[in-house]
């Protein structure tokens, strides 16, 4: 059953990315710089939570232990989460939030495009639906990165600082391990390393239009997608997110 375990891990990676980022983005509700951003951020968070229901729903089905997507979202502890570190990073200022979104959306859109031709029909169906949403996320976060990078002196500096702060977390999205090798050999999902050239090309174009400078460093902080070492931030996020179902076990909401 090694392959089923790998498949399960892959689905958790997809679903935990969208769950954790959806949660982070939803923290903005009512606090955005302008009303259109309140609407767009809520919309993005909503899409990501919807995708989480699909990915974790399938993960629970594959696991076949009678669990639900909600059980996986609300009853696992930090070490069982498989999201990349990037998405658990705090919101910071609006610039940091939108830069994190852009760096993730660029990866996400390439990933979902490839997953549309997955050998697993269920994965392909989720990717089909999600990629429409993520195309829009990328368009919006990319435009905003360009607008703020090429805006005022202050907005430029803040966006450059955000890029430098988050850049070390980009590499993890392209790290490949045994799970990825198993997925690639079955044609379920691409080897993440194979997506790096497309990614660099895509973000290079946007960041150049944004007049931002790509950091030189290639050092990558890792440990999220294999659960080996998350950041300290994730535990606090889960404390808030999971509190209610854990405080009242067995209740139905």
Partner 1 sequence: MYAQMVKSTGHGVKTRDEMTPEERAFQDRIDRGDKIEPKDWMPDGYRQTLIRQIGQHAHSEIVGQLPEGNWITRAPTLERKAILLAKVQDEAGHGLYLYCAAETLGVSRDELTEMLLDGRMKYSSIFNYPTLNWADIGAVGWLVDGAAIMNQVPLQRTSYGPYARAMVRICKEESFHQRQGYDAIRKMAEGTPEQHRMAQDALNRFWCPSLMMFGPSDKDSIHSAQSMAWKIKINTNDELRQKFVDQTVPQAEYLGLTVPDPDLTWNEDRGHYDFSEPDWSEFFEVIKGNGPCNTDRMAARNKAWNDGKWVRDGLLAHGEKKRARAKARQVAAE
The residues that touch partner 1, with contacts defined as CB under 8 A, are: 19, 22-23, 26-27, 29-39, 42-43, 45-46, 49-50, 52-53, 56, 69-70, 73-74, 93-95, 144, 146-148, 150-152, 154-156, 158, 240-241, 243-245, 248, 250-253
Report in angstroms how near the CB of residue 100 gets to partner 1 at its nearest: 15
Q: How many CA atoms lie within 13 A of 62 on its CB side?
A: 22
Residue reference for tokens 């996986």: 72
CB of 3 to partner 1, least distance (A): 27
Q: What is the 3-state secondary structure (H, E, C) of 99-157?
A: HHHHHHHHHHHHHHHHHCCCCCHHHHHHHHHHHHHHHHHHHHHHHHHHHHHCCCHHHHH
- In the complex with partner 1, which residue's Cβ is closer, 91 or 135? 91
Residue among 17 and 199 whose Cβ is closer to partner 1: 17
CA distance 237 to 85: 13
**Shorter beta-carbon distance to partner 1: residue 35 or 121:** 35
Query: How many whole angstroms separate alpha carbon 214 and alpha carbon 195?
Result: 18
The Cα angle at residue 60 between residues 137 and 75, in degrees rounded to 5: 85
The whole-angstrom separation of Cα 214 and Cα 207 is: 7
User: Would you say 56 and 122 are in contact if contact means Cβ atoms under 8 Å apart?
Assistant: no
Query: In the bound complex, what is the minimum distance in angstroms from residue 39's beta carbon to partner 1?
Result: 5
Minimal distance, residue 65 CB to partner 1, in Å: 18
Instruction: Tell the smallest beta-carbon distance from residue 133 to partner 1 (Å).
Output: 13
User: By C-beta, is 34 or 121 nearer to partner 1?
Assistant: 34
Q: Which is nearer to partner 1, 6 or 25 (CB)?
A: 25
Closest separation in Å from C-beta 2 to partner 1: 29
Nearer to partner 1, 12 or 110 (CB): 12
Interior angle at CA 19, CA 214 and CA 110, nearest 5: 45
């Amino acid at each position: 059953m090694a392959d089923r375990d790998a498949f399960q891990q892959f689905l958790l990676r997809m679903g935990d990315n969208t769950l954790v980022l959806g949660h982070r983005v939803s923290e903005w509700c009512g606090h955005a710089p302008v009303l259109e951003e309140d609407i767009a951020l809520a919309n993005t968070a909503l899409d990501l939570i919807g995708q989480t229901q699909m990915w974790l729903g399938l993960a629970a089905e594959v696991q076949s232990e009678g669990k639900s997507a909600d059980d996986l979202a609300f009853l696992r502890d930090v070490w069982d989460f498989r999201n990349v570190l990037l998405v658990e990073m705090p919101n910071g200022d609006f610039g940091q939030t939108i830069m994190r979104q852009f760096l993730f959306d660029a990866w996400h859109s390439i990933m979902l495009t490839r997953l549309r031709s997955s050998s697993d029909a269920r994965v392909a169906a989720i990717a089909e639906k999600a990629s429409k949403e993520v195309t829009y996320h990328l368009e919006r976060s990319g435009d905003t990165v360009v607008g703020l990078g090429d805006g005022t002196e202050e907005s430029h500096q803040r966006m450059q600082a955000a890029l430098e702060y988050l850049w070390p977390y980009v590499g993890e999205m392209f790290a490949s391990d045994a799970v990825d090798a198993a997925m690639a050999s079955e044609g379920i999902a691409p080897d993440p390393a194979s997506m790096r050239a497309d990614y660099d090309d895509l973000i290079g174009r946007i960041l150049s239009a944004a007049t931002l400078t790509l950091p030189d460093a290639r050092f990558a902080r890792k440990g999220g997608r294999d659960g080996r070492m998350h950041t300290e931030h994730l535990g606090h996020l889960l404390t808030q997110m999971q509190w209610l179902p854990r405080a009242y076990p067995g209740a139905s909401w």
